[in-house]
Amino acid sequence: MKKLVLVAAIAATTFGAVSTAQAVEVTTTANANITTDYKFRGISQTNAGPAFQGGFDAAFSNGFYLGNWNSNISNLAGPSSGLEMDFYGGYAGSLANGIGYDVGALYYFYEGVPVAANGPEADTLELYGKVSYANAYAKLSYAVSDDYFATTTLDGSNKLSGSTYLDLGYTLPLSDSLSLTAHYGLTTYDKDIVQVGAERFDSYSDYSLAATYAISPKYSVTAAYIAVDDDGEKIFNNEQITDGSLVVTFSAKF
């Protein structure tokens, strides 16, 4: 962890250019993960294979933050591989009653992933809002880009802006180094995207139960069971990426 100081000049008074300086502290951190499978919203992004991930964050003392996170991927374009690069920024704070809040934007950029002619882009822009209290949180992500993770609607349209993801979670500390986390997620597409028989689908759920052990302040290991519901299995129609499985992740932060 490193701490930097940014100095901003503030001009004042109507009689002259009198300036003062206000220091804004910035805390920068970096992170790296090795995981047996990269699952995003319950779906494997690496065809049930391993991933190496990492990124960095800059948190300003005034509540603003910026960050980047990256991972190898391999399921968005069949057997070919690429790189997911996430860029995000926002503002976080807390209220007097202990409720925390966080609002921002996140852009998912996929490098090296080919796009079919007239097909949807995988690149996606979402706005998000999150509230938390004690060990529980609720977060809603809202897609503002027409393209939504290379998804096509049932009628062949690429326009899925307005799709949402609801993320609910709770962490139960068992000791200073061991904790359990339960998660439920609901993806809702703006339009129907799959029809199986007479049934149409525009949403699916994912869930996970994880145990995290902090080896030290810098290193931790997490074992999580991650799965999707029956609707998710029907929408993606690929057991390799939808089957529930145990995912083990080793994480480091600096």
Which domains does the chain carry?
A: 30-253 (2.40.160.40)
pLDDT tops 50 at residue 2: no
The confidence score (pLDDT) of residue 81 equals 73
Query: Each residue of 3-28: pLDDT tens digit?
Result: 444 433 333 444 344 444 578 999 99
Question: Whole-model pTM?
Answer: 0.90
17 vs 241, residue with greater confidence = 241
Q: What is the mean pLDDT of the chain?
A: 90
Query: Each residue of 79-110: pLDDT tens digit?
Result: 557 899 999 999 999 998 999 999 999 999 99
The confidence score (pLDDT) of residue 10 equals 34
The confidence score (pLDDT) of residue 13 equals 40
Query: Each residue of 122-170: pLDDT tens digit?
Result: 999 999 999 999 999 999 999 999 999 999 999 999 999 999 999 999 9
> How far is it, in rounded angstroms, from Cα 36 to Cα 50?
4
The confidence score (pLDDT) of residue 77 equals 52
The confidence score (pLDDT) of residue 239 equals 95
Looking at residues 106-126, what average pLDDT do you find? 84
